[in-house]
Amino acid sequence: MNKYLKIDPWCILEEGFDPKNHRASESIFSIGNGRFGQRANFEETYSGETLQGNYIAGVYYPDKTRVGWWKNGYPEYFAKVLNAPSWIGLDFKIGDEILDLAKCKVHKFTRTLNMKKGYLQREFVAELPSGQQVKADIIRFISMDKPEVGAVEYKISPLTDNSTITVTSDVEGRIKNADANYGEFFWDEVNKDVSGARGFLTCRTRKTAFDVCIGAEVKADINGNTIELKCQNSQEEKYVASIFSVNVAKGEVLTIHKYASVLSSLYHDKDKLRKNADLVLQDAVKTGFASLLDTNIKVWDNKWEHSDITIEGDDEAQQGIRFNIFQLNQTYTGDDERLNIGPKGFTGEKYGGSTYWDTEAYCLPFYLCTAEQEVSRNLLKYRYKHLQKAIENGEKLGFTGGAAMYPMVTMNGEECHNEWEITFEEIHRNGAIAHAIFNYIKHTDDKQYLVDYGLEVLIGISRMWRQRVNFSEVKGKYVMLGVTGPNEYENNVNNNWYTNTIAAWTLSYTLKVIEIVKSLDQSKYNEIVKKAAFDEQKETTEWTDIIENMYYPVNENNGIFLQQDGYLDKEQLTVDDLDPKIRPLNQTWSWDRILRSCFIKQADVLQGIYLFEDRFDTETIRKNYEFYEPRTVHESSLSPCIHVIVAARIGEIEDAYSLYLRTSRLDLDDYNNEAHEGLHITSMAGTWMSVVEGFGGKRVRDEKLVLNPLIPSRWKSFSFKINFRKALLSIKVTNEEINIYNESDHTASLLIYGQEYLLSGNNNLVVKK
């Protein structure tokens, strides 16, 4: 853990510059807009340790997999989220001295991520080796209104003497990924040009042939008086720059405005990319920095209006949840069904890929309740469009007959994960995709989705589960062998309880959806049967037999579901038995030692209890929580939020609060010493779940929105909004009451502390505790 950031309800604040924290801060202070994103790298030269990062949505490189030896079905590549050409560069020479905070004395340094308004600000005073001091104030944002525009305002002022300041504004394409398997450069230059204060660079990814064009233009003034720039231009391979010098008197302020257009061939024809980048850049320059920033702030105002969670009386908790919501909103906007939510978003390279099961299990609930219905629908359509690829993935692993094995990691529907125990064994991911369809339907009642897309996906996944189990003559039950559950500190286990549970549930839900689709559109159902070559009688009979005869490992003495066969054969220790100095275990223990231990990386049995809690009474939930929580090291970012929800369900409010702080401040306080690699974006949706489903007790049952709120002792109140079946509900919880206002024209059916209510549009409901 590293708590170096200041607490503020609306801002992330770093005071004082410590190079040891810089890479973590580059992650934490990242900004984006769903189309592209930028780590909080300095605009000016920085020779210290840094991870450069400008990332373009949907642009990737298939880096050849590195493995010791090949296996049939193994992915041929590991998709890299590419570090793209950089648009932010503004280098400064003060006289003959380069402004480089790694080589200066840095005074009065502050870095601020203004989450309410959506911009990054940095201020400092730097003392150069000569003794000259300069003051700088920089604001940077990526426009939420104009999705291909970024802008920088850089104010610099000499404090001790008059200075000639030389500015270099560049577009830098000589970049590479830190995680490149073979140290390759992934970009080739297509074209470049620079004239005066404007420059353009177009690069193309190797193999995948995505084109990205970045245009940049600078304007300058001194104390508000515009300067006519006389630029020298520089061109090198994958590099263009505009260079100019300005005489600045002591105390005067030189202001540089840099505008950038960032376009990709995902949205533009390649032969028009340069021209369109020019048009976007011209529009940005004409609009001006102040107006661009103002419209950006207005978009963020609207985002916060619908997705904010307010916590009264606990600024640390408040800052944590807003940071998580901010990152989610700037990572995915939902307007393009080809895009998804990468585990690091636009903040780092680790994990590669665009899509994990995190999207369905964690992110979908957030977007379901805080954004327009089309946003979550597009997340599901993303998987539908990859159905044929999932079938092909299944064929590579030996499945037949249209069985769909969705990938653990993907960019385009193909599996691209490079760890065998994940690629081949962590197949519960398919159940998460099925459950996401169920979750979407119960929140929106959009059954037409099942007709148009959902049933085909469910049939493909159900066929995979049918072939993945086998009947054990010894047990007289269907079993599932050689899997990895959500707890990745176990590999190649038999009968993971969660995987068996979600497999059988998927089969059962598919049977229900078949009947729904038949009742809604028999002709469309017939089309699906023909398209999928679906033998309804034979296949549904087989599925029913599996549902009725699936094996689930349990321990009757403890009253718990066993994580997998043989789990109790391990030496049973708890986290309290561990020396804190050896945590996280994955950074100090061998993999062999981890696999032999009883310690759990993330919620596994409890993941199943969370998803299917209606099946279990409170005592069963409590026994499993009290057994598994002490053995869980929470070394996956996805873990604490599930434990929050389960703990709140059984009334363990202090446990829930402690775990909430861990999930909400995982990156801010760097619990796992990983922030320098990028943020844990997908788990941030779990933080939202912790508040809304944990403390808010939000569920959907029998067509009703259920609320059973609890409030931590440190909080005076908390509030949030929920979209539910076209109703928009504003909910505030205090120690005395729950206040719900229906901001829509649609009636909402509610169940609060077991009491039913109908709340009509534009009306208020107060329920006393």
| Positions marked catalytic | 488
CB neighbours of 523 closer than 8 A, spacing ≥ 6? none
Secondary structure letter of residue 6 according to DSSP: B
Structure tokens at 161: 């003497």
Structure tokens at 209: 């042939």
85 closest CA partner among 243, 265, 211: 211
Quick one: CA dihedral 725, 726, 731, 737, positive or negative?
negative
104 closest CA partner among 171, 47, 165, 28: 47
Q: Cα–Cα distance between 340 and 357 in angstroms, integer?
A: 11
Question: Residue type at 544?
Answer: T
760 closest CA partner among 751, 769, 747: 747
Question: Would you give the end-to-end CA distance of the chain in angstroms?
Answer: 38
Structure tokens at 622: 């409590």
CA distances from 64 to 393, 405, 767 (A): 18, 22, 59
CA distances from 497 to 407, 552, 564, 601 (A): 21, 6, 6, 16
Structure tokens at 202: 């177009």
| Burial (Cβ within 10 Å: 0-12, 13-18, ≥19) of residue 154 | buried
Per-residue exposure over 50-77, b if at least 16 CB sit within 10 Å of its own CB, e if not: bbbbbbbbbbbbbbebeeeeeeebbbeb
Q: How many other CB atoms are there within 10 angstroms of residue 634's CB atom?
A: 25
Q: Cα–Cα distance between 563 and 554 in angstroms, integer?
A: 8
Q: Cα–Cα distance between 117 and 166 in angstroms, integer?
A: 31
Question: Are the beta carbons of 28 and 82 closer than 8 angstroms?
Answer: no
Q: In which region does residue 36 sit, left (phi positive, over 0), alpha (psi from -120 to 50) or beta (all else)?
A: beta
Q: Cα–Cα distance between 701 and 279 in angstroms, integer?
A: 51
Phi, psi of 631 (to 5 degrees): -100, 0
Residue linked to tokens 């390649």 = 270
